[in-house]
Structure 1
Amino acid sequence: MQVVSIDDFIHQSFDFLVIGGGTAGLAVASRLAQDGNFTVGVLEAGGTANGRDDVEIPGYLARSLGTELDWKFKTTPQARLGGRTVNWPRGKALGGSSAINFMTWMRGAREDYDAWEALGNPGWGWDKLLPYFKKSETFHPPSDSIREKEDLRYDLEAFGDSGPIHISYAKEYQPSNQLYFKALNSVGVPTNSAHFAGSNIGAWTNVNNIDPRTMTRSFATNYCALAGSNLHILTEAIVQDVVLDKIDDAYRASGVRFIYKGQEHVVSASREVILSAGSIKSPQILELSGIGNPEILARAGIDVKVDSPMVGENLQEHKAIHMVVEVDPELENRDDLFFDADRAAAARAQYDRDQTGPLARISSSYSFVPLATFMPQDTLERLYSQAKDLTGVSSEKKALMEQRLKDIDKIGQMEFIFALGAAPLAVTGKGFGTLFQILQYPFSVGSIHIQPTPSEKDDPVIDPRHYDGPHGEIDLEIMLESTRFGRKVLLAPSFNKIVRQLAYPPASLFTDDEDVKTWILDSTAVAYHPIGTCAMGGRAGIGGGVVDERLKVYGVKGLRVVDASIMPLHISAHIQATVYAIAEKGASMILEDAAKYSHR
C-alpha cells in the first residue's frame, strides 16, 4: 500500500486530490492512478486497518465498532425516541466503513436506480450502472456440494469476475438458514433465484465480501494494488477545507488545507479535488469551505462562497429494530464467541488451522418483503393519502416516494435478517436468535450540518429526525405492520424445530398497537446506511441537490463528490456494493473529462 510520509506528500505535485481513503475514496483514487497518466493523492483521517483480527476475521465483525477505527458519531437527541441519541458508527481508517461494516454484499432493485435517473440524472439507471457494479467485484461460485445442500440460487451472469473486491458464499451454514427460508415461504415470501439481477423481492442466502481463498474480509484497500507508484496516501490527516480560488466571479477548487500532527499544510491539485468523505463528513467539509446554506454558514461565522441550500439536507437512513426468540441451547451461535471462553478459543484454533468454523462465516439469511405481503389494504390506502399531502421535498421526488407506496408487490419495503445469537440477552444455558427488521424506504428525512462554532475536529450536528412529523408517521405505521409480520415469521410452524418462544419483546405486547409503537420508538436504531446529504440535483439543479449527474459540485469548478452522499433517494439494499459502483462510475467520468480537456 502506498502510504507515504508527510514530507513526501507535501512535496508531491498532484493532478487529483481525494479527500477520504474510504470505500469510495480508495476505489476512485486507485482507478485514476491506474490510468498511468495522473498522480493522485489521498488524505485519510484515520490510520491503517489491514492485518487486524477485528477487521479481517469474519466472525469478529462488530468488534471494531467503538475503537479508534470508528468516528463514533452520535445523533442529536431525537424527540420521537424519547430524547435518545443514536450511535452512528463510520469507518475512520484506510478502507473507511468497508473496514468495519458487516460484509453484506447486495444490490438494490432496478426501480431504485431508475428512480435516480427519473429525477433527471441520465446514466444513473440500472442498465447504465450495472457494468460498474460488475467492475468492482470478483464472484467465486460455491462448490456443487454446498450449493445443493443449502439450495443456493443465483444468476451467474449478474456477477462480475475480475474486480478488486472478492465476494463469495460461505462454505458452511448454521442449521437455522434453511429453516428460516421455510418459515418465510410458509407466510407468503417466495425464494428469489436471482436476487442480484435487479429484483430483490423474496428470500435468499446472500453473498458476502469475504475472500474464500483466505476467509478474510475483502475491502477497499484491495483497490490500491491497481494503482502502482502513481498513488500517494497520507494517513492521520484531518482536512480543514477545500481551497477555493475566485477567478472571474467564479470559484475553482485548487487544493486542500489539512492538519497533520498539529501542523497545518496545504497541497494543490492541478486538475480536480474529489470529496469522498462520506455522507457525514462530506457535507461538513463543504460547509467549512464556504459552500452551503447562507444561514447555516453565517451562524458559524463562515463566509459564503457558494450559496448551495441543499448541502447537508436530504439525510436518509434505514431504521432498524430487532426481535429475539429463545432457541434450542445446543445450537451454535455467535454468543458463544463472546461469553464462552472455551468455545471461543476452540473456534479461534479451528479458524487458524483451516479457516473454517464459526469465525469463518457470518449471517447470510436475508429477505426483502414488499408491502403487499404484510400491509392491510385499508392501511395502505390511508398511508398513500397521507403521502400525497407531504411537504418539504420537490414535486418530482415526492411523486417517486408516493410511487413506492403504490408498487406494493414490486420492491422490498422491509428487510428481515435472521441470525443465531442475541448478545444483550445472553444467559448461560440458554440460546437465542435475532430477527433484524430494517425499513428500506424512509419517508422521514433529516440533515447534517456544522456546529455553530465549528472546527475541522468537531463532529457535525447529525439530526435524522426519526419518525418526526407526518413523514415519520408513515414510517412508524409501516414498522408497526412489519413488526406484526416479523412475529408471524418467528412463530411459523416450520421454525418450531429450533424456536422455543418469543423473548423480546414479550408476547403480551402485541395486544395493543400503541404499546407496539412505543416499543418500536424505544428500540429503533440505524442500519449504518446514511445517504443523500450531497445528492444529485437532477432537473431541480442546485435547488434540489449539491452535485450534477457527473458529480460536479454546483457553483464550483474542479470539485466533485464521489460517495454515498450523492444518492438522491434511498435504495432497498445495504449500500456497500452501490458505493463501489458510484466510485467506479465517478472515476470513469473523471477520466473521460480529463481526456476531453487534454485534447483541446
Structure 2
Amino acid sequence: MTQDGGSVKAFTETPFDYLIIGGGTAGLVVAARLSERQDLNIGVLEAGYAIPDDTPAVSVPGRWGEGIGTEYDWQFETTPQKQLDGRKLPWPRGKALGGSAALNFMIWNRPSSDDLDAWERLGCKGWGWNDMLHYYKKSEKFIEPDNKAKLEHTIHYDREAHGTEGPLTVSFNKQHSVPHQYWHETLENLGVATNKTHMSGSNVGAWTSMVAVNPKTATREYSATSYYRPVKDRKNLTVLTGATVQNVVLEQSNGGDWMAKGVRFEHGGSNYVAHASREVILSAGSVKSPQILELSGIGNPSILDKANIETKVVNKNVGENLQDHLLTATIYEIDPSVPTLDDLRTDPKLDAAADEEYKTHLSGPRTLLSCSIAYIPLSTLVPEAGIPALTSHLSKSTDSVSKAIATRLEPSANGGHVEYIFDVGNWNPFTPVKPDKKYATLLQILQYPFSRGSIHAKSADPNEAPVIDPQYYENEGQIDREIQLHAAGFGQKILETEPLKSFVKGRVWPPPGVSKAEWNDWIVGNTTTDWHPVATCAMGGKEGKEGGVVDERLRVYGVKGLRVVDASVMPLQISAHLQATVYAIGEKGADLILEDARE
C-alpha cells in the first residue's frame, strides 16, 4: 500500500527486511519481486508522489514530453559545459512513482549482444547477453500486431525473443505519422537494410520501434502501472511517497566492518529513520544514487571534505565514469498540408478534436510516437582512412573501461554507433521557425560516448542538487564531436535519398550551405542530452573496488547489506534507449537479492 504523511510514524516502526530507496523504474521492479516472498517485509521510500491516472501529460502517448519540467521532474541541470559554449543543459529526471519512465518517449528496444558481452569481458560475470536475455523477456508482456499492421508499417520481430507473461505491456504502435511509410525504403536505397530481428542481439539497421504502450487502453506503461499497481495491496509491501532520503544509516562493527542498517529521510519537514534487518537497496538512478552514497560517507575523501561530509568508506569511483548519449536535431521544411503535433500546439480546435478522438476511439494524433529508427555502425559513417584521426585523441589510460571504449573505434566494430530517428514537427528549440511553415526533425544520437564526466554531492544538504558535469566533448570526447560531424553528413544523405527526398523541401537548421567549420559550431551550439546517463555507480568487474562502486552482485564495496540496482551500475554505455535494460537490471537485481537471502 502507499502511505501518506499520516502514516510516516507507522512506516518507521515497521520491521522491514529490505528498504528500497527510490520507487522508480528499477526500484518498483525490485519491490514487486521481493514482495512475492510473503515472509519478507519490503519498504520503499520515494521522494515524489504517485501520478494520478487522469494526468494526460504522462498517460497519453502523444503528449510525450509534456511531463518534463513539471512537479514530476527533478529539473536538474548540468554545470556550464566548456565545449558547448558554456551552456548549462536541462537534465530531466523522474520524481514520481515510476521514475523517469513516466517522462520518457516510450521507445522500447535492446542493445546489441556485444554491448552486454563487453560488460562480461570487463569481469561482470553473469551480465552478458545470454544471461540478460532471460531478464529482458521476464519483464515483457508483448502484444503482437495484426498482419495488416505488419504490412502497412513494415513491422518485423522475432517472436521467440520476446516475453509474453511479464508485468509490462509492450507493443507496436497502431498508427504512425506520414513519413514513416518512406523510412525503410529510403534507408534501403542508402544500403542500410531493414533489421527484421532488431531485439534479438543486433539492432544495426533500420526498423520500426516497439513502445511501452498498452494497445488496449492506448496509455503509457511504466513501473508504477505495471509492476506496482497490481501488487500494491500486498500486506508485506509499503511505499512511502514524499520522502526525501538524507543518507543510509551505517554502523561499524567491532571488527571495523561497515553495515547498512537503515535510512534517514525527511517527510513533511520532519526527520525520521527507518530500519532494515537484511539490506538497503539504492535505486535512485544515475543522478541521485551516487549523491546518496556520498551523503552517507561513501566516496572520494576529497569530494566529501569539500561537501563537509565525514568519510566512512573510501571509494574514488563513486559518481565518476558518467556516460550519456549526445543528441542533435536537424530541421527540414515540409509541405504545410502535412499534419504534425505542432498543429495541436497552435490550433485550439485541432487540439480539442485530437483529444476527443483519443477519448472516443483511442486513435489519432494523441497515440502517435516516433518509431522510425536506424542504428548505423561507425564503419558506415567514417571511412576507414578517417579512423586514425579519431584514434589520435585517445589517451594512454590503462583502465579496463577506457580500453573497452577504445575498441569501439576499431574498423571491425559493428555496433550501432549513431541512432537516427525521423518524424514530423520541430524538435529543436533553437530553430528559427516561421509561423506559416511546417517542419520535420532528424534526431542524431551518439550511442558510444568517449565523453566521460561525473556527478557529485555539492554539500551535505540532501535537498541541494548534485553537481552534474558530463564533460561533453572534453578530453577524449573530442572524438564524439568529430563522429557527430561525420554522422551529420550521413544524416544529410538520408534526407537527400528518395522517397524522403520528395517529402522534405530542404534543410532549414542548420541553414543550407554551411561549411565544415560552421557545422562544427552548429553541433557545439545544439548538442544536448538524450537523457540516458549511466555508470556513476558502475560494476567494478575484474578491477573490483579500484574499477567500480559495486561488484557483479551489485553489492557496494566496503559495506555489508547495501546494494545499488539501477542504470548507474552499468559499466559501459549501450547502443539503445535505456528503459528495457533498466527493467532487466531490476529483474536480475531482485534475483540476486533473493538468491543471497536463501543462503
User: What TM-score comes out, normalization by structure 2 length?
Assistant: 0.96
| Structure 1 residues 498 and 553, CA gap change in structure 2 (3 angstroms) | same
2:474 pairs with 468, 474, 480, which one? 468
2:268 pairs with 258, 261, 273, which one? 261
Match of 2:419 in 1: 415
After the TM superposition, which residues 509-548 of structure 1 pair with which residues of structure 2 at under 5 Å, given as runs? Answer: 509=514, 512-548=515-551
Q: CA contact under 8 A between 1:50 and 1:56: conserved in structure 2?
A: no
Amino acid at match of 2:586: A
Q: Distance in 1 between matches of 2:8 and 2:345?
A: 40
Deviations 1:373-425 (A, max 9, x none): 121222113223433x343xx43222221211115552100000011100545
Aligned-partner SS, 1:265:
strand
Match of 2:287 in 1: 280
Match of 1:301 in 2: 308
The answer on 1:358 being equivalent to 2:365 is: yes
Q: CA contact under 8 A between 1:440 and 1:570: conserved in structure 2?
A: yes
Match of 1:33 in 2: 35
Match of 1:508 in 2: 513
Q: Distance in 2 between matches of 1:328 and 1:168?
A: 30
1:485 pairs with 490, 507, 513, which one? 490
Q: How many residues align?
A: 589
Greater mean deviation of Cα atoms: 135-144 or 490-499: 490-499
1:330 pairs with 302, 317, 337, which one? 337
Q: CA contact under 8 A between 1:371 and 1:408: conserved in structure 2?
A: no
Deviations 1:486-520 (A, max 9, x none): 111112132133211111111121xx222111110
The answer on 1:214 being equivalent to 2:220 is: no
Match of 1:400 in 2: 404
Q: Distance in 2 between matches of 1:229 and 1:327?
A: 56
Aligned-partner SS, 1:274:
strand
After the TM superposition, which residues 376-387 of structure 1 pair with which residues of structure 2 at under 5 Å, given as runs? Answer: 376-387=383-394
| Structure 1: runs of 5 or more not aligned | none
Q: Distance in 2 between matches of 1:29 and 1:151?
A: 37
Deviations 1:307-365 (A, max 9, x none): 01100000000000000100121111111121121111111000000100010121111
Q: CA contact under 8 A between 1:274 and 1:562: conserved in structure 2?
A: yes
After the TM superposition, which residues 81-92 of structure 1 pair with which residues of structure 2 at under 5 Å, given as runs? Answer: 81-92=84-95
- Any runs of at least 4 consecutive aligned residues in structure 1 with deviations exceeding 3 A, and if so which? 1-4, 423-429
Q: Distance in 2 between matches of 1:582 and 1:93?
A: 20
Q: Distance in 2 between matches of 1:480 and 1:291?
A: 40
2:123 pairs with 95, 120, 131, which one? 120
Q: Distance in 1 between matches of 2:411 and 2:42?
A: 44
Match of 2:451 in 1: 444
Q: Distance in 1 between matches of 2:467 and 2:435?
A: 41
Amino acid at match of 1:413: H
The answer on 1:232 being equivalent to 2:238 is: yes
Greater mean deviation of Cα atoms: 278-287 or 182-191: 182-191
The answer on 1:205 being equivalent to 2:208 is: yes
Deviations 1:464-493 (A, max 9, x none): 001112x11111110000011111111213
| Structure 2: runs of 5 or more not aligned | none
Aligned-partner SS, 2:341:
coil
Q: CA contact under 8 A between 2:407 and 2:413: conserved in structure 1?
A: no
Amino acid at match of 1:456: P
Q: Distance in 1 between matches of 2:272 and 2:187?
A: 56
1:80 pairs with 57, 69, 83, which one? 83
Match of 1:494 in 2: 499
Q: CA contact under 8 A between 1:168 and 1:208: conserved in structure 2?
A: yes
Greater mean deviation of Cα atoms: 500-509 or 561-570: 500-509
Q: CA RMSD in A?
A: 1.3
Greater mean deviation of Cα atoms: 1-10 or 132-141: 1-10
* 1:591 Cα offset (Å): 0.3
Q: CA contact under 8 A between 1:300 and 1:454: conserved in structure 2?
A: yes
1:244 pairs with 234, 246, 250, which one? 250
Match of 1:367 in 2: 374
Match of 1:458 in 2: 464
| Structure 1 residues 97 and 342, CA gap change in structure 2 (3 angstroms) | same
Q: CA contact under 8 A between 2:393 and 2:478: conserved in structure 1?
A: no
Q: CA contact under 8 A between 2:18 and 2:281: conserved in structure 1?
A: yes
Q: Distance in 2 between matches of 1:446 and 1:133?
A: 28
Q: Distance in 2 between matches of 1:50 and 1:170?
A: 24
Match of 1:10 in 2: 12
Match of 2:50 in 1: 48
Q: Distance in 1 between matches of 2:529 and 2:386?
A: 25
* 1:302 Cα offset (Å): 1.3
Amino acid at match of 2:179: S
The answer on 1:577 being equivalent to 2:580 is: yes
Amino acid at match of 1:242: V
Q: Distance in 2 between matches of 1:108 and 1:591?
A: 26
Q: Distance in 1 between matches of 2:469 and 2:393?
A: 23
Aligned-partner SS, 2:563:
strand
* 1:154 Cα offset (Å): 0.8
Q: Distance in 1 between matches of 2:501 and 2:110?
A: 32
Amino acid at match of 1:205: T
Q: Distance in 1 between matches of 2:237 and 2:319?
A: 30
Amino acid at match of 1:484: G
Q: CA contact under 8 A between 1:31 and 1:226: conserved in structure 2?
A: no
Aligned-partner SS, 2:33:
helix
Aligned-partner SS, 1:168:
strand
Percent same amino acid at aligned positions? 47
Amino acid at match of 2:129: W
| Structure 1 residues 438 and 390, CA gap change in structure 2 (3 angstroms) | farther
Amino acid at match of 2:42: V
Deviations 1:127-162 (A, max 9, x none): 001101111110000011111112211101111101
Q: Distance in 1 between matches of 2:496 and 2:64?
A: 28
Amino acid at match of 2:409: L
The answer on 1:144 being equivalent to 2:147 is: yes
Aligned-partner SS, 2:508:
strand
Q: CA contact under 8 A between 2:22 and 2:282: conserved in structure 1?
A: yes
